[in-house]
Amino acid sequence: MRIATWNINSIRARVDRAVSWLERSQVDVLALQETKCADAQFPEEPFREAGYAVAHTGNGQWNGVAIVSRLGLADVQVGFDGQPGFHKDPEAEALPEPRAIAATCGGVRIWSLYVPNGRDLADRHYGYKLEWLAALRGQAEGWLAADADAKIALTGDWNIAPFDEDVWDPSFFDGKTHTSGPERDAFFAFEKSGFTDVARPHTPGPGVYTYWDYTQLRFPRREGMRIDFVLGSPALAASVTGASVDREERKGKGASDHAPVVVELGD
């Protein structure tokens, strides 16, 4: 079984590219982030024609997550219990954003997650990010407590670079989000809860990135960040046989600013 995660940065702009990649890569389940469309706008038909079922949650031009699978989609869940919300107006009701969706595919519980960016260390969005991660971790601990043998994959754009080797220049990020101590602590807390970064052992750094900003020629200058991950439960981690980052998919006209991360599972 091959699973992957990919921040597609607008599925309507890149649906042909996504479907073509699925057919070439022979990935069974793909978690997508930043679909940037409402449910009614998601281009399902090309995926269905290629043999993939679709589960999606989105409400407009921001955020949005999906799972596409040729192994079925069982027990689809939009959001997680206790998921915090956000509103740009601090006086308005903070409703949960479309940042999390789950489905069981081929016996694996797949979560497609788009962790809040944080924006700036002084921004309310940064506190929201940490609250969101803490709430997710609490739920993830509960899932493992309920079934220690469950195969769970927390996949997506985590908007965190856990190690200095995960960014091209650590000094560039001093005083910025993505590499701050609290964000890294929040990421490592999942490992303390039993989840493992299952791709890193097969894709060791430094210089193995999953994201390159469109500006400043970041991609050709190899100035990237590793912020897309698959965190696996113990049972899932034990079944991993390989992993890769498809850097080639960041190339060419109309590419997303992220590359797919692929994880291979055995029996």
CATH number at residue 200: 3.60.10.10
Q: How crowded is the C-beta side of 94, counted as CA atoms within 13 Å?
A: 15
Residues flagged as binding site for Mg(2+)? 7, 34, 157, 159, 257-258
DSSP state of 67: E
Burial tier of 26 (Cβ tally within 10 Å: 0-12, 13-18, 19+)? exposed
Measured CA to CA, the distance from residue 239 to residue 149 in angstroms comes to 12
Look at the alpha carbons of 57, 62, 63, 68 in this order and tell me if their dihedral is positive or negative. Answer: positive
Strands 2-7 and 29-33: what pairing?
parallel
User: What per-residue confidence (pLDDT) applies to 57?
Assistant: 98
Strands 152-157 and 108-114: what pairing?
parallel
User: What per-residue confidence (pLDDT) applies to 188?
Assistant: 98
3-state DSSP assignment of residue 125 = helix
> What are the mean pLDDT values of the chain's consecutive 10-residue runs (267 residues total)?
98 97 97 98 98 96 96 98 95 95 98 98 97 98 98 98 98 97 98 97 96 96 98 98 98 96 95
User: What per-residue confidence (pLDDT) applies to 267?
Assistant: 78
Q: How many CB atoms lie within 10 A of CB 24?
A: 10
Measured CA to CA, the distance from residue 118 to residue 130 in angstroms comes to 8
3-state DSSP assignment of residue 91 = coil
User: What per-residue confidence (pLDDT) applies to 254?
Assistant: 92
Containing 228, the helix (H) or strand (E) segment is strand 228-232
Residues flagged as binding site? 7, 34, 157, 159, 257-258
Domain of 247, in residue numbers: 2-265
DSSP state of 114: E
Catalytic residues: 114, 157, 258
Helix (H) and strand (E) counts for the chain?
5, 12
Number of domains in the chain: 1
- Residues 6 or more apart whose Cβ sits within 8 Å of residue 174: none
